[in-house]
Chains A and B, each alone.
With several copies, the nearest count.
Chain A
Amino acid sequence: MAFTIMIDQFEGPLDLMLHLIKDNKLDLFDLDMNILTDQYLQYLNAMESMHLEVASEYLAELAGLLEYKSKKLLPREKVVIEEEYEEDQREKLVKRLLEYQRYKEVSAQFEQKYEERQLMMSKPISEETNKWVHTVTEAEIDGNPYDLIKAMNRVLRRMALSHPLETRMTVKELSLDERVVQIKKRLRDFVGKMSFEDLCSDCDSLHMVIVTFLSVLDLIKHKEITFTLDAQDVIWIIKGEVVYA
């Protein structure tokens, strides 16, 4: 599947999801979470493979989608699936998408008004008014240095911010591929099963945890590892492919 649209054309994960829903003609009111999750994941993978930075927000939402999907995929006898919980999760997402869509749509009207307004111009206050302004004695001006520094702050802030509003702020983060290599290295000499928590012991940010999680999914996909969940919901990572008995 060819992704011709870049991630920075989206205002965030919800925007991307709305695009995928529309593109795949999904029914927002009867949302097929499987298709959405697959498409979303494919999209992010495509971005990663083009070495495009994917903002953490996208990964955070992905984690939610994957959680939903993984609960559905896991063998029923192994996990107690709470249907209600799942429906709640799905409804919650749909509600968020609907809410977001409202503001997205209405902001198009704001844009139109904004453009109209830009075409209307005015003039500065007339010089003539100086002579009346001047009737106020200078002594009445009550300035203090703090007003000055505040004013200068405003100026500098505006200058610092006058870069394109679109600049995306992302901290340089570990990529999925780099993390996969790291994890493989750690598992090479390891015997037995390692908990996901242990695997994350070197993570210093939520982003890294998510990348680790994605790496695990990737390794599972390539049948390099497999996993089990125990009664306490701890994820155990096992090297090699395990056939469910």
Chain B
Amino acid sequence: MHEHLKPILEGLLFLSGDEGITMEQLLDCLEEVSKEELEETLDTMMKAYLENTHGIELVRFGGVYKFVSKESIHPYAQRLFSSTKMSTLSSAALETLAIVAYKQPITRVEIEEIRGVNCDMMVRKLLARNLIKECGRTDAPGRPFLYEVTEEFMDTFKLESLKELPDLPEFKEERDEELFE
């Protein structure tokens, strides 16, 4: 372990607040330290802050490390701060995001084929909220845009990377199983 790194990282992460810090930024800043050392120290810190004695935790969503207050603090924060508004995402938005996350890069028409509804407006809303972004075009007629999820998406859904996406449920015929009941 690299005990001397911990206070430095704690201080820097505190200062950076909700902007957070990426591994690349840390490597630039702490030239003499290897990526492995940093990762190891950050992992240890993440575990340490999970302890009940702490009201904040260290998270890494979409490759960005940052401190956030724990869920348990939220009721108190609501009393203390006036602007702790919660925003909501509609189920239509959630569905569309799920499709993009699993199928990216994907065109709007492909999303529409799965959802069975027009998604023009929804795609524009998700772009405006920076939850998806354009990532090139296909060669299909009209050269439609391809979309993928953003780092903000990862942060919004507590994901370190797309590898963490839950497995898509499989729906299988159940008749076979009934035979053995």
Partner of B86, one of A13, A107, A136, A163: A136
Q: Is the CB of B89 within 8 A of A128?
A: no
> Is B134 an interface residue when CB atoms closer than 8 A count as contact?
no
> Is A244 an interface residue when CB atoms closer than 8 A count as contact?
no
Question: B16: which A residues are within 8 A, CB to CB?
Answer: 123, 125-126, 129
Assuming the A-B contacts A127-B121, A160-B171, are A110 and B86 also in contact, with contact meaning beta carbons closer than 8 angstroms in the complex? no
Q: Is the CB of A29 within 8 A of B173?
A: yes
Closest approach, in angstroms, between the C-beta of A20 and any C-beta of chain B?
A: 14
> Is A138 an interface residue when CB atoms closer than 8 A count as contact?
yes
Q: Is the CB of B87 within 8 A of A121?
A: no
Residue among A56, A111, A206 with most chain B CB within 10 A: A111
> Is B94 an interface residue when CB atoms closer than 8 A count as contact?
yes
Question: B174: which A residues are within 8 A, CB to CB?
Answer: 29, 160, 169
Partner of A151, one of B17, B19, B94, B173: B94
Q: Is the CB of A103 within 8 A of B98?
A: yes
Q: Give residues of chain A (137-168) contacting chain B, Cβ–Cβ below 8 Å.
A: 138, 140-167
> Is A240 an interface residue when CB atoms closer than 8 A count as contact?
no
Closest approach, in angstroms, between the C-beta of B60 and any C-beta of chain A?
A: 13
Question: A28: which B residues are within 8 A, CB to CB?
Answer: 171
Measured CB to CB, the nearest residue on chain B to A132 is B81
Measured CB to CB, the nearest residue on chain A to B170 is A102
Closest approach, in angstroms, between the C-beta of B41 and any C-beta of chain A?
A: 21
With A and B bound together, what is the CA distance between A139 and B66 in angstroms?
A: 30
Report the interface size for chain A: residues with CB under 8 A from the other chain: 84
Q: Is the CB of B169 within 8 A of A126?
A: no
With A and B bound together, what is the CA distance between A55 and B77 in angstroms?
A: 42
With A and B bound together, what is the CA distance between A100 and B117 in angstroms?
A: 11
> Is A109 an interface residue when CB atoms closer than 8 A count as contact?
yes
Q: Give residues of chain A (100-125) contacting chain B, Cβ–Cβ below 8 Å.
A: 100-111, 113-114, 116-125
Partner of A121, one of B15, B113, B155, B170: B15
C-beta contact mask, B63-74 vs A, less than 8 Å → 1, else 0?
000111111011
With A and B bound together, what is the CA distance between A114 and B89 in angstroms?
A: 8
Partner of A141, one of B87, B116, B166, B180: B87
Measured CB to CB, the nearest residue on chain B to A124 is B121
> Is B125 an interface residue when CB atoms closer than 8 A count as contact?
yes
Assuming the A-B contacts A103-B98, A144-B158, A153-B169, are A11 and B74 also in contact, with contact meaning beta carbons closer than 8 angstroms in the complex? no
With A and B bound together, what is the CA distance between A28 and B115 in angstroms?
A: 18
Q: Is the CB of B59 within 8 A of A120?
A: yes
Question: A146: which B residues are within 8 A, CB to CB?
Answer: 166
6 A-B pairs with the lowest CB-CB distances in the bound complex, closest first: A122-B18, A12-B117, A123-B17, A151-B94, A160-B171, A152-B98
Residues of B near any A CB (own CB < 8 A): 14-19, 57, 59, 66-71, 73-74, 77-78, 80-82, 84, 86-95, 97-99, 101-102, 113-118, 121-122, 124-125, 128-130, 152, 155-159, 164-166, 168-177, 179-180
16 residue pairs of the A-B complex, CB under 8 angstroms, read A28-B171, A103-B99, A120-B74, A121-B15, A125-B18, A127-B121, A130-B125, A132-B82, A136-B82, A140-B87, A148-B97, A151-B95, A154-B91, A154-B95, A205-B180, A206-B179
